[in-house]
Structure 1
Amino acid sequence: MESLHDAALAESARITVTRVLNIKPGERALIVTNPSFDVFTISQYLYNALTEAGASAVMLVQPRKSQLDFAEEAVLAALASEPDAVLSISAGKIGKDRKGIAEPYTRGRESYTHIFDYLLYGKKSIRSVWSPSITLPIFSETVALDYDELRNTCLRLKALLDRAESVFITNAAGTRFKTSLKNRLGQSDDGDFTLPGSGGNLPAGEVFISPVVGASSGTIVFDGSISSHKGEIIIKEPVFAEVADGYVTDLSGGPEAAEVEESLRLAAEKAFQFEKAGNIPAGKAELYAKNARNIGEVGIGLNPKARIIGNMLVDEKVTRTCHIAIGHNYEDDAPALIHLDGLVKNPTMELTYEDGSKQTIMDQGNLLV
């Protein structure tokens, strides 16, 4: 591949390959990207770094995909070949797996609607980084981190979330939200994706958990940025989300709230269209539609180089924030066609443990652990 001359991009690519993924000579690596300038350029730098590390690298280019689009069959076939490492460097998403949605892959008692998730979380035969909507500035500015410090912070927070029965989140904008975490395990996006079965975002820097389905209530005031079917929005007028029994029952605010509400409506409609076309199992459309309003994630941003820029890949990593997602969760017990993250700035987060004791892990945006 042609010579590339940006030193910062080359260094971020080198760190990704050698530190984050620890690619070894002879390993097979698959890059999936789009013809959009930024992600295609980043992919070229990664391809060069992979070959310099001695990997056998392949780069596939498919049209840009949204949360509701299907991946190209060639991409799914390449994933099914089980490369050692998969790098999804996409302007949007990698795309849904038509076959997997209709006939989920199984591993033991677990089922997966995408070949990628099956190989990563079920079979644990690949390791991966994924960077939806990454840009050249994000890649050059937020990948070079003190990964040892980040991993230690992630380990401490994950251990606390694993023990917690619930979390109560407040902020000055009016958030008062409680959700159950009982028997749920946190996940760590710490940039250590060196072993099969490990993977996460690049840039890294968050700990997150999927709340118990049906066990969230209160008011969330999104005041940082938020995802919609059209992309990310930097919030000017706060979005108020009322939550009862685990689902968003009302959204209010300005144009941002209206756009998110439209996203939830479209996701519910799409579920019935998918069922009619045979793209989700028969009889599941109502469940998918309902879960478009599910509380699917609570996460904490930990990347000191991240800033709110209207790109959720980096926004959700911003320190002094937490994010709460509406839609599909990471336990795969609330399937939906969307996953929309929203930022809450300067939150106070209080955990409650099984013995009734409480611990504040963040106070008005200041991390305490």
Structure 2
Amino acid sequence: MTELTPAAVLAVEQLGVRAGERVAVLHNAAQRAIAAALADATRDAGAEVQVVEFATLERHGAEPPLEVAEAILRADACFAATDTSLSHTRARIAGTQRGGRFASLPTVTDDIFRRTIPIDYALMKRRGAAIADLITRADTVRITSPQGTDVTLVVRGRDGRNDDGDLREAGAFGNLPAGEAYVSPVEVEGDGVIVFDGSIAGYGLLKEPVEVVMAGGRLVSASGEAGAWLERMLDSGGDGGRRVAELGIGTNPAATLCGVVLEDEKLIGTAHIAFGSSAGIGGVVQSSVHIDSIMLEPTVEIAGETVVSGGRLVFDPT
């Protein structure tokens, strides 16, 4: 037993691992200890384990090597503790479409794993479900902030989703740690200014705010050094890289701001917007990139309700 064991046991429970199942544990070198803890907990549950270590990919959303894609297809359930996210890849989508379950842990560290997985899942589930229901009933979402954000995203016809950590059903997909209500907005609508002041996936904590101009659902420009990096990464994903892909609102009570977006986007009171691939989360854009960026003090209005006000979650039916 190690200090990672309690979180690993809970992660195996959240993924619904059963005796006799085939479980793939996919990881990069930095997550070797986490992968070992997950593999041990999976074996203790009576499942067959395949551990696959592979080289770090160049960006979030890039397709994994063939051996990894094949492991996903063969498995009843997968853990992906990796440096870059496999969440929005064709390989992950193919696996869950055939009924496999998938827990994505991109950029997870030992500290994040140990601290943010053992939480009150029932409370988080109720909170996220209520916000997701509001999104489903809304036509638009408006986000403003003291830093200058003022953007309206169109969500008409798109279902809100609750990343609540319950991955036990066939075809289930989500993050561990979990904790966000999210939606894929309409890709060709949505205008305004977004100011990211928390972190950007793959870049880290922001030293200065990044002002993004969006028109017709597309990122037009992004300011500063971090903005230039963001534009380069999105453009590397092809034609759809600059399309709006996701809006999320954090719901995990253990999350803090640390520069790792896997945790930062779950922080209660924050909102995040991603650009790039959305085909795996309710949108239609297929791209080889998906990058989330964080706003720390947003005010988020959904279906006539203020859900977050100045970085505080004020809509809480729990």
State TM-score, norm by structure 1.
0.81
Aligned residue pairs, count? 312
Q: CA deviation at 1:215?
A: 1.1
Residue 275 of structure 2 aligns to a residue whose secondary structure is strand
Q: 2:232 matched to which residue of 1? A: 262
Over the matched positions of the two proteins, sequence identity in percent amounts to 31
| Residue 28 (structure 2) aligned to one of 34, 51, 54 | 34
Q: CA deviation at 1:70?
A: 4.0
Q: Is the 8 A contact 2:198 2:205 kept in 1?
A: yes
| Residue 269 (structure 2) aligned to one of 295, 320, 323 | 320
Q: How does 1:1-369 map to 2 (within 5 A)?
A: 5-7=1-3, 9-18=4-13, 20-36=14-30, 39-67=31-59, 69-81=62-74, 83-94=75-86, 114-120=90-96, 122-123=97-98, 125-227=99-201, 231-252=202-223, 254-267=224-237, 271=238, 289=239, 291-329=240-278, 330-352=281-303, 358-367=304-313, 368-369=315-316
Residue 193 of structure 1 aligns to a residue whose secondary structure is coil
Q: Which runs of 5+ in 2 are unaligned?
A: none
Q: Structure 1's 266 and 78: CA in aligned 2 closer, same or farther, altered over 3 A?
A: closer
State TM-score, norm by structure 2.
0.93
Rounded Cα–Cα distance in structure 2 between residues aligned with 1:320 and 1:206: 11
Residue 203 of structure 2 aligns to a residue whose secondary structure is strand
Rounded Cα–Cα distance in structure 1 between residues aligned with 2:20 and 2:66: 26
Q: Which runs of 4+ in 1 moved over 4 A?
A: none
Q: CA deviation at 1:15?
A: 0.6
Q: Which runs of 5+ in 1 are unaligned?
A: 97-112, 272-288, 353-357
Residue 346 of structure 1 aligns to a residue whose secondary structure is coil
Structure with the larger RCO, 1 or 2 (CA within 8 Å, 6+ apart): 2
Residue 208 of structure 1 aligns to a residue whose secondary structure is strand
Residue 282 of structure 2 aligns to a residue whose secondary structure is coil
Rounded Cα–Cα distance in structure 2 between residues aligned with 1:11 and 1:324: 32
Rounded Cα–Cα distance in structure 1 between residues aligned with 2:21 and 2:142: 45
Q: Spell out, residue by residue over 1:47-106, the C-alpha distance to the aligned partner (whole angstroms, 9 max, x if none).
A: 11011111111111111123375422222222222x22111111224499xxxxxxxxxx
Q: CA RMSD in A?
A: 1.7
Q: Structure 1's 70 and 157: CA in aligned 2 closer, same or farther, altered over 3 A?
A: closer
Q: Is the 8 A contact 1:321 1:365 kept in 2?
A: yes
Q: Is the 8 A contact 2:69 2:91 kept in 1?
A: yes
Residue 8 of structure 2 aligns to a residue whose secondary structure is helix
Aligned-partner residue type, residue 217 of structure 1? D
Residue 54 of structure 1 aligns to a residue whose secondary structure is coil
Residue 93 of structure 2 aligns to a residue whose secondary structure is helix
Rounded Cα–Cα distance in structure 2 between residues aligned with 1:299 and 1:198: 18
Q: CA deviation at 1:182?
A: 0.3
Aligned-partner residue type, residue 62 of structure 1? F
Rounded Cα–Cα distance in structure 1 between residues aligned with 2:62 and 2:269: 33
Q: CA deviation at 1:223?
A: 0.7
Q: Is the 8 A contact 1:65 1:94 kept in 2?
A: no
